[in-house]
Structures are given as structure tokens and as C-alpha cells.
């Protein structure tokens, strides 16, 4: 079976002089390898095809057969690495905290161990008959969330 370190080493060599970064590498028992990559500008299909061809030149299928898929970390998928957070500052995100509460807002800031989002919420304020739209900023620690992912707003 092909191990994760071998695949990671090859992929790191292939993307060394680019703005691409590894999001995840998964290898099944049947040697089905899936490599999720991303960049600050996004990843197109042509990039995935080129990386696939380069990878197959480095890891001989005659020695051990494998199935290979390079893919872009898509919209709506959970963030797995810090660079995904950095890429999405200023974008709309959805956060599910460890208590099961969902938040939707703009990713504002990154901290060493977390991040903050800004969103608007209607709130009953003293002296007002109706609820008023209030801007809130909430800080999250990475270990206190189940997921964070980007969302598309139309």
C-alpha cells in the first residue's frame, strides 16, 4: 500500500514553486489517492490535469497500481488548513460551533488559535418598539467549532 508520506512528499515537490497548497491527502486500502489542493487564486481543471501527469511520472504504477485524483477544495467544503482561512478573509462563511449553533457572516480576522466573524442580527433593544439590526463580532477558538466553510451569496 502506498503511504501518505510518499504522496505528500511528491505533491510538495510538484507544487514547490507555485502558490498552490495541500488541503488534504486521502488514500484508501485499494490505493485510491485523492489530493485536494487550493491556492489564493483558486485552482482550475488544467492545473489538476498537469499535476496528475507529473505525479504519475514520479510514482511508477508498474511497481504498485493506484488510482489518482487531484481536485480543488471546492466551495462549501470545510476549511482544513490555515491557508484556507487566510484566502477567505472578507468572504462570507458559515460556522457551526461545538454547541450546535450556526453563524453566518464575514470572516474578519485570524488569530493564532481562532478567528472572528462579523454578522448582523435583529435584536430587541431597550427604548425601541421593534427589533433593530445590530452588527456583532464573535470570536471562535478552533477547537470549539465543528466546522467553518465558505458560502456563496447571490
pLDDT digits (tens, 9 = 90+) for 69-127: 999 988 889 999 999 999 999 999 999 999 999 999 999 999 999 999 999 999 888 88
CATH 2.30.30.100 residue ranges for the chain: 82-150
Closest-CA residue to 117 (of 83, 98, 94, 146): 94
pLDDT at 51 over 90: yes
Q: What is the pLDDT of residue 124?
A: 86
How far is 107 from 118, CA to CA, in rounded Å?
A: 7
The edge-to-edge listing of strands for the beta sheet with 114-123 is 132-141, 114-123, 102-111, 92-97, 145-150
Give the right CATH number for 82-150 from 3.40.50.620, 2.30.30.100, 1.10.10.60, 3.90.180.10: 2.30.30.100
pTM: 0.84
Query: Are 77 and 87 in contact, with CB atoms under 8 Å apart?
Result: no
Percentage of residues of the chain with pLDDT beyond 90: 82
Return the pLDDT at 103.
96
Span 57-67, pLDDT tens digits? 999 888 889 99
What average pLDDT does the structure give for the chain? 93
Instruction: Give the CATH fold of the 4-72 domain.
Output: GMP Synthetase; Chain A, domain 3 (3.30.300)
Alpha helices of the chain — where are they, by DSSP H? 4-15, 45-58, 82-87
Rounded CA separation 43/28 (Å): 24
Q: Cα–Cα distance between 130 and 140 in angstroms, integer?
A: 29
What is the share, in percent, of the chain residues with pLDDT greater than 70? 100
Can you give the pLDDT at residue 45?
Answer: 94
What are the start and end residues of each CATH 3.30.300.70 domain in the chain? Answer: 4-72
Task: Give me the pLDDT at residue 127, please.
Answer: 83
- CA gap 41, 33 in Å, rounded: 24
Q: What is the pLDDT of residue 137?
A: 97
Q: Contact at 8 Å (CB) between 149 and 78?
A: yes
Bridge partners of 150?
93
| pLDDT for res 154 | 73
Amino acid at each position: 500500500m502506498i503511504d501518505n508520506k510518499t504522496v505528500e512528499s511528491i505533491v510538495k515537490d510538484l507544487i514547490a514553486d507555485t502558490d498552490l497548497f495541500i488541503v488534504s491527502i486521502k488514500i484508501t486500502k485499494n490505493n485510491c489517492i485523492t489530493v485536494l489542493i487550493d491556492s489564493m487564486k483558486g485552482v482550475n481543471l488544467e492545473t489538476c490535469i498537469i499535476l496528475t501527469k507529473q505525479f504519475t511520472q514520479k510514482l511508477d504504477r508498474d511497481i504498485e497500481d493506484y488510482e489518482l485524483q487531484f481536485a480543488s477544495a471546492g466551495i462549501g467544503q470545510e476549511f482544513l488548513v490555515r491557508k484556507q482561512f487566510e484566502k477567505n478573509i472578507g468572504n462570507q462563511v458559515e460556522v457551526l460551533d461545538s454547541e450546535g449553533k450556526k453563524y453566518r457572516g464575514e470572516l474578519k480576522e485570524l488569530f493564532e488559535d481562532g478567528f472572528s466573524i462579523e454578522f448582523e442580527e435583529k435584536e430587541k433593544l431597550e427604548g425601541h418598539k421593534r427589533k433593530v439590526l445590530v452588527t456583532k463580532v464573535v470570536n471562535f477558538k478552533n477547537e470549539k467549532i465543528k466546522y467553518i466553510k465558505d458560502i456563496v451569496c447571490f
